[in-house]
Chain A
Amino acid sequence: MSRADRETEKGDARMLKEMIGRKSEKTKNVIERGAVKKFAEAIGDDSPLFTDEEAGKQSVYGRNIAPPTFPVTFDSGSIPGLNLPPKGLIHGEQNYVYTRPLFVGEEVHCWIEVKEYYERTGNFGKMGFLILTRYGEDAEQQLLFTEERIVIINEAARKEMER
């Protein structure tokens, strides 16, 4: 490895480490009935609780709910300075924690935070692990869910970020 390469590597690590703790602006979303229906169809989940108004009313929730992975559709704004490469990213993990299900028709205010960044050297060279947490609150600022996404960034992709 040349000295220039080593310098670049240090630069990458520093840049991503500096992002830890940075957050996006809260962004308002409305859970649209049509979007929930389309999403439920795309994962082949035919629960009437997602789409059938009457079934929703009769349920313990008194309304329709959204599937647990629906937050992938939410706009959470963007983190200034965090420009992930379009290629070379591997989705490692995804973790949800809910205080209650999401309701069709409600407002959800979302933002993302860079929770952690670290590097490990393994069989495929040095990999970066970036932990991004998305938060969602209701209109009264009550936390509804967190969504943690662990993204693995390979060496080539980290170099790409420097360009």
Chain B
Amino acid sequence: MSGIGQMEVGETLPVIQLEPVSRLDLIKYAGASGDFNPIHTIDAEAEHAGLPGIIAHGMWTMGNLAKLFTPYLGEGFIETYSIRFKGMVFLGDVVSLEAKLKEKDSEKQIFDVEAVNQDGKKVLAGSLAFAVLKNQPPAAQGS
């Protein structure tokens, strides 16, 4: 796999557009994460909380966003990943995931990352530092 290390500042990773958010997506994430807050899965509970309908877990979107780096995990790992949640994601929303290289040195690359909905509104945004490995696996301890 070539090249996150060769990217230039200002370049972007290929955008990933997710399928429209479905209830099943959120039920699966509730089960896998252990976050069973019902505002993410049950209409009546979301409405009771003053929402127009169920909303995605913020961590579901943040988890998805890290997929932009999946093709490069053989070259390095995600060292820091910081997100501010800016807007709600509703059923049927189409979320696009984006990353742009902001700074780089020989050891790491810092990307601005964000997820935007079909109206171009940011639902979350932040920064991610990708640590580039030089054929040296990080210290493996304890196993």
Contact = CB atoms under 8 A, between A and B. Distances in A.
Interface of A: 35, 38-39, 41-47, 49, 59-63, 65, 67-69, 72-73, 86-87, 90-101, 103, 105-107, 138-140, 142
7 contacts: A41-B28, A42-B60, A43-B66, A60-B74, A63-B143, A72-B35, A93-B126
Contacts of A39: 32-33, 63
Interface of B: 18, 25, 28-29, 31-35, 37, 49, 58-60, 62-64, 66-67, 70, 73-75, 77-85, 126, 133, 135-143
Contacts of A91: 58-59, 85
Given A59-B74, A60-B135, A62-B137, A97 B80 contact: yes
B80 A96 contact: yes
A73 B33 contact: yes
A56 to B, nearest CB: 11
A96 B142 contact: no
Contacts of B62: 69, 94
- Please name the 4 residue pairs, one residue from A and one from B, whose CB atoms are nearest each other, closest first: A43-B63, A100-B138, A42-B32, A139-B142
Contact of A103 (B35, B60, B80, B140): B140
A68 B142 contact: no
Given A45-B70, A60-B74, A92 B85 contact: yes
Contacts of B81: 68-69, 95-96
